[in-house]
Structure 1
Amino acid sequence: MEDPTLLIHWLFSILTLIIIVVRLVWRKVAKQSFNLGDYLSMAACVCAMTRLGLIHVVLTWGTNNLSAAVRKTHVFTAIDIAHRTTGSKLSIANRVFYNSYLWLQKLVLLDVYRRLILNLRYEKVTIYSFLFVFFCTYAACQVTTFSECTPFRLYWQVLPDPGQCVKAQLQLIVVGVLNIVTDTMLLILPIPIVLTLKTPWQRKLKLYALFTLGIFIIAITCIRLPINANNKDSQISRTTWASIELLTAAIVVNAPTIYGMYNKRAQAKSSSRSQGTGAYDGRGTNNVSIAHRSRAHDDEDNETYSMGRIRKPMEGIIQTKEVIVSEFRDSERRGRGPYSNLPDDVENASSHGSQRGILKD
């Protein structure tokens, strides 16, 4: 693949798909059911794959977006005109799928935050407000995509020059600005949740870093707007920055979920290692200490959004029971009372066992 833009397009698109597939496969490996965010990720995956094919043709065949200087020197053959006409049509179709990909990823992240604020008094108001804003901004982006050129055929007209509308500067600005606004909303939403957490500052810092990754999408959008405006005749510039934004969105949106599943797996392994211990004391006595722990918890969120269940403080009872079992050889018991050989640790076992109820506000 000689064209570096095509190479970047394929590389970033494949990395994007890999990130989404890792999320979905890990979900099934963990034997969890797909949730709403996973199904939205599947739809985003379809959009990314569709864009992959469309942009490959657009970059290979070209479009009708050419500068005046190029038009003066370029020789338009019948095949070239046919290719550029098709490329221009596919470029318009690509904008629909690309906008859909970005807004689907926003919905995936919103689904994560919905789980964090579940059962809080402002949950429904917040979610419905965000959904309304997302719907309006998405509709505005799609309407702008098809409303710059009049008549509509100018979008793919190669000769004569269709004019400035094919450069889609209004569409670029509208999508960019609305993308920044909605990403900023998602960036702010989890901050109050993390602030109210009763957890060590190290964990809070980790969560802040995880939930503020969206600032990179905002930064990329802010950078690409003036660059694409200064290179409005270049499909290469537009495609390259769109590919960067595509991958960044996949990383930002899927990082919390992948981290949550990884953290849950690590906690499960740690718990299984600490369930029981056995030791032989060298005197023919086997002392076995078994710790039984149970925690009342909410099974609604099978994802265990495993950052200390940060959507709300844990409520319930933690029970810890310590049972010490001692076995003695019959030869050691002969001629002695049934309790004369009980070791000190068994006699004091009742003082070690405990049952505590912990309620966190």
Structure 2
Amino acid sequence: MDPAAQAAAEATEEAGRQSTIETWTLYGIGVVVTILRTYARANAVGFRDFRADDYLVWVAILFYTVQSTLAYSVGSVAHGLANNGMPDEKRAALSPNDPEFELRIIGSKIQVAGWATYSALIWLLKLAMLVFYLRLTQGLGRRYRIRIWIGFGLVLATFLGSICAIFLACIPFHKYWQISPDPGNSCQAAVSLPIVWTSFAANVSTDIYLILIPIPLLWESTLRLAKKIASTVVLGAGIFVLVCATLKSVFVLVDPVNGAELAGKWGTRETFVAVVTTNLPMIFPLIRTWMKSLWPSILHYSKNYKKAYKTSTGLRTTGRGSGDSRSQDRRTGNSRVHTVSSNPIFTESEEQIIMNYSHRG
């Protein structure tokens, strides 16, 4: 074999091995994070009080399993081939009896399945976050919760848009795995601009909206600045999903021929980050508890976090439930109290945040 060709083959093999390691390592971490989330929630409220988001994340894990398997198959089964990145001369010369021809068909089908699985996974995680927000704002006025219901509408609409883009961008559908003649960019799933642009726009719009839902509520609270910042980091971690989605789209747009490989890698990272950031608010209290046992002096500020306390601005935390806080409100005559349960920094079984808002307008 020609030395240059042999070196290229070895480099391709090594890249495939590294990609496989990364794919399954990220998948394993994602599953472990989801298990930790379930453990934390079970400790906090018990299995009987699980809510829809506690189940949605596991449905998402099923799709994550399929998505990771498809990502692995792109290299191990299809050898990174699909119906994109081929000059017309090569398309015309490639015989249907050639093994490469079949590999490109298989790879193209994997790409289509990958887009559909990716969309289902990402949007299930978005729904899980919205259900979490409903729990977070339980007891607040309608003006807070209406934002969340608008979010449900936005998420469902953008999901339908993404799915429609996959199934309608290439008609007839079988052209998605057509080799010759060139089916056109829209029918090359790995680099299809209608799919890439629709998915990117849907992701950006929904992710930004989901990040902005809890932030104003958080900064209107009377939490100390350090806790506001910590909560903002936890709830705003979705920005990293945006970064991955942006890089994935940029690689395809800048280099339609070779960008699909890098886009696939960043797509795998994007779904991993989405799984982690969706579960992070629920496992943060668990992590904090572990950190307290390791570095109690570092987290000394929260040593009394299970005890009830009040501030002049009205922030108060209570142990379990809200009965004591309601009776205290009756004694003080406070009628401007809103209860937010399941705050990311305080689990439902540990604390509730009670915020007083001044009369507005």
TM-score normalized by structure 1? 0.72
- Read off the aligned partner of 1:65 and give its amino acid letter: N
Distance, in Å, in 2 between the alignment partners of 1:30 and 1:297 is: 12
Which residue number corresponds to residue 164 of structure 1?
185
- Inter-partner Cα distance in structure 1 for 2:112 and 2:182: 17
Unaligned runs of 5+ in 1: 275-293, 316-359
Give the 3 Å change call, closer, same or farther, for CA 97–189 of structure 1 in structure 2. same
SS in 1 for 2:168: coil
CA distance in 2, matches of 1:115, 1:261: 18
Q: Distance in 2 between matches of 1:273 and 1:192?
A: 25
The one of 264, 274, 279 aligned to 1:254:
279
RMSD: 3.5
Counterpart CA distance in 2 for 1:168 and 1:272 is 52
- Structural mapping, 1:318-329, within 5 Å: none
Post-superposition shift, 1:160?
3.0
- Alignment partner of 2:346 out of 307, 324, 338: 307
Matched to 2:233, the amino acid is: A
1:261 and 1:305 in contact (8 A); partners too = no
Question: 1:295 Cα shift?
Answer: 5.7
- Name the structure where helix makes up a greater proportion of residues: 2
Relative to structure 1, is the Cα distance of residues 162 and 204 closer, same or farther in structure 2, using a 3 angstrom cutoff?
Answer: same
After TM superposition, list the pairs within 5 Å mapping 1:148-163 onto structure 2: 148-163=169-184
CA distance in 2, matches of 1:176, 1:203: 32
SS in structure 2 at match of 1:313 = strand
Task: Verify the 8 A CA contact 1:261 1:304 in the aligned structure 2.
Answer: no
Residue of 117, 142, 157 corresponding to 1:136: 157
Residue 75 of structure 2 is aligned to residue 55 of structure 1:
no
Which deviates the most, 157-166 or 68-77? 68-77
| Aligned residue number for residue 215 of structure 1 | 239
Using the size of structure 2 for normalisation, the TM-score is 0.72
Q: What is the CA–CA distance in structure 1 between the aligned matches of 2:303 and 2:270, rounded to whole Å?
A: 37
> Structure 1 pair 306/272, CA: closer, same or farther in 2 (3 Å)?
closer
1:23 aligns with 2:48: no
Larger gyration radius, structure 1 or structure 2 = 1
1:188 equivalent in structure 2: 212
Distance 1:13 1:239 in 2: 15
Alpha-carbon separation, structure 2, partners of 1:35 and 1:110: 12
Aligned residue for 1:110?
130
| Residue equivalent to 1:43 | 59
66, 69, 89: which one pairs with 2:85?
Answer: 66
Give 1:51 shift. 0.9
**CA displacement, residues 105-155 of structure 1 (integer Å, 9 cap, x when unaligned):** 111222222222112112442222111111100000000011122222110
Residues 1:126 and 2:147 aligned together: yes
Q: Which amino acid aligns with 1:50?
A: V
Between 1:261-270 and 1:211-220, the stretch displaced more is 261-270
Gaps of 5+ in 2: 1-12, 294-301, 308-317, 324-338
Which structure shows the higher strand fraction? 1
The one-character-per-residue Cα deviations of 1:70-94 (angstroms, maximum 9, x if unpaired) are 8369855443322321221122111
Q: How many residues align?
A: 298
Q: Percent identity?
A: 20
Paired AA for residue 259 in structure 1: F
Q: Provide closer, same or farther for how the CA distance between residues 73 and 214 of structure 1 changes in structure 2, counting only shifts above 3 A.
A: same
Mapped to 2, the partners of 1:27 and 1:188 lie a distance apart of: 24
For the 8 Å contact 2:140–2:340, the answer to whether it is kept is no
Query: 1:12 touches 1:246 (CA, 8 Å); kept in 2?
Result: no
Specify the SS of the correspondent of 1:146.
helix
Counterpart among 256, 261, 277 of residue 236 in structure 1 = 261
